[in-house]
Chains A and B, each alone.
Chain A
Amino acid sequence: MIESQNLNKLYKHSDVTQEKEKSICENIVFESLFYSHSDDIRNYIFYKCGDQQLAEDIVQETFLSLWHQCAKVPFKKAKYFLFRVAKNNFLNIIKHKKVILDHTKYFLPSEITNEDPEFIIEEKEFMIKLQKAILKLSNKQREVFLLNRIDGKKYAEIAVIIGISVKAVEKRMHNALLILRKEIGNV
């Protein structure tokens, strides 16, 4: 009897302390969502089209549609809502505008902080080879490879973002590495 009363109390207590689900319509929540996901989304779209301006426009459009639907989207699903909307926006634009994919402007030279000048030169040469090789990847492989390498996304997360299985992500990653190896060897 006493035990069950305690249980009830516990249950009630936990009910009270249970945090209310955050609402995206609150400015702070919306802002934090923007600062934690906007660059990931921007890069994700950027890897697809190689157009920085387009990618950033899509991010803006995506967050605006999140705001206009803030009451409908649960906080927990916000991230995947964002990636899905961004991808759809991108596909719509591709469909209607025929964006020319230009993958030559992907990267900025990375800051290489190494004291050995010879090593730096060697590394720079390799980086150029690597960048050229990345252009030889298929769109699907490139997307996975760059999300993993540059953004440090785990396979599971990439799988959810792209909407494929983890196995498929691993397969694309494996093939990407094989192709890069082959391309760099040829150069």
Chain B
Amino acid sequence: MMKEHLKNKFLARWVNDDLTNKEDLDFKNSADYQEFKKIAELSKKLRTPVYDKNTAFTEILDKRNTKPKIKPLRSRYLIYKIAASVLILLGSFYLLKPSKTLYKSKVGEQLVFSLPDNSKVILNSNSSLEFRTKKWNKNKEVELQGEAFFNVAKGSLFSVKTDNATVHVLGTRFNVKSNGKYFETQCYSGKVKVENLNINNQTVLSRGNAYRIEANSYNSHNFKASEPSWLQGESTFKNAPFEEVLIALKNQFGLTFSYNKEKYLTERFTGSFIHNDIDTSLQMVFSAMEIEYIKQGKKIILKE
């Protein structure tokens, strides 16, 4: 026979005072009643460890105003990520930054410096020369805009790249000038090889040879000087396009010119100007060409 109080939910109802009177009486007369009563009563006296609410609440107030933190696991990786990025960044700066060296001269200024192989370079005014320091041995190349004189160290080989031509060093001393479409090189000693990029033509120049590219044509001529005149404070031209003379004046004195380009397109100039006196230089150039001009500060207006 199944005891009533062992059935489904009976004890739960009893402990909750939900029994009917009859059920209650029957249960009280059962053998187990005293044990169950003890369990029910004494279990009420059990206590959990004391909970210090005030301290707990103070802690919550402290933390309440700080936003939920990123999980520490993740933030630790984040630090590694940032550290790695910084290292890579620094590394790439280290690799990239010193690999190229640029020399740039201002208007009216000349720069003298050495290449990694101890070749001496003199940069004329308003020109720039760039080369790779790191890979010099692999890639012996300098890039030139403007005009420079090279005095190459013995036994050294390198190339000077310009827009129109590349000059390969075979000997020791040479001058290179490159302004946009105009290119000119003079060999003062030893030999250089000029590679004309426009027409894929190579010419070897010896001492006293010059090579010139203007517009789409090129020509060679000879000269007698032992070094470029601009090293001595004078710019010399031999049958040079008029515009090249104006560019040289611009580079030397920072002048601007206002003139009818078409009229002077075919004009040529042979002669020179000095670097230490603007007015004398202008007279030297323009009186020789029978051109009248007005000087307004740094601006020169050529009359037609």
Write the residues of chain A forming the contact surface with B, with a CB cutoff of 8 angstroms: 31, 34-35, 38-39, 42-43, 46, 52, 56, 59-60, 63-65, 67-68, 106-112, 123, 126-127, 130-131, 134, 145-146, 148-150, 154-155, 167, 169-171, 173-174, 177-178, 180-181, 184-185
Contact B12 A171 (CB under 8 A): yes
| Nearest CB on A from B54, distance (A) | 9
A68-B56 in contact given A108-B49, A171-B8, A178-B6 (Cβ < 8 Å): no
List, in ascending order, chain B residues with CB within 8 A of A123's CB. Answer: 42
The answer to the question of B45 belonging to the interface, with a C-beta cut-off of 8 Å to chain A, is yes
* Alpha-carbon gap, A53 to B40, bound state (A): 28
List, in ascending order, chain B residues with CB within 8 A of A59's CB. Answer: 56
Contact B43 A145 (CB under 8 A): yes
Contacting A34 at CB < 8 Å: which of B8, B10, B57, B67?
B57
B16-55 toward A: CB 8 Å interface, digit per residue (1/0)?
Answer: 1000000000000000100110111011111111110100
* Alpha-carbon gap, A109 to B45, bound state (A): 9
A52-B49 in contact given A170-B13, A173-B11 (Cβ < 8 Å): yes
| Nearest CB on A from B72, distance (A) | 13
The answer to the question of B138 belonging to the interface, with a C-beta cut-off of 8 Å to chain A, is no
Q: 21 A-B residue contacts at CB 8 Å?
A: A34-B60, A43-B48, A46-B48, A52-B49, A63-B60, A65-B68, A107-B47, A108-B49, A110-B45, A123-B42, A149-B40, A150-B43, A150-B46, A169-B12, A170-B9, A171-B8, A174-B9, A174-B10, A174-B11, A177-B40, A181-B32
The answer to the question of B112 belonging to the interface, with a C-beta cut-off of 8 Å to chain A, is no
Chain A residue nearest in CB terms to B38: A126
Contact A64 B47 (CB under 8 A): no
| Nearest CB on A from B50, distance (A) | 8
Contact A39 B51 (CB under 8 A): yes
The DSSP consensus for interface residues of chain A is helix
- Count class of interface residues, chain B: 20 to 34
The answer to the question of B290 belonging to the interface, with a C-beta cut-off of 8 Å to chain A, is no
Contact A150 B47 (CB under 8 A): yes
Contact A106 B48 (CB under 8 A): yes
* Alpha-carbon gap, A178 to B47, bound state (A): 22
A60-B60 in contact given A43-B48, A108-B48, A110-B46 (Cβ < 8 Å): yes
List, in ascending order, chain A residues with CB within 8 A of B47's CB. Answer: 107-111, 150
A67-B64 in contact given A167-B9, A170-B9 (Cβ < 8 Å): yes
Chain A residue nearest in CB terms to B44: A149
* Alpha-carbon gap, A146 to B60, bound state (A): 27
Contact B48 A56 (CB under 8 A): no
A112-B39 in contact given A64-B60, A177-B12 (Cβ < 8 Å): no
* Alpha-carbon gap, A42 to B51, bound state (A): 8
A184-B35 in contact given A149-B46, A155-B12 (Cβ < 8 Å): yes
Contact B12 A173 (CB under 8 A): yes
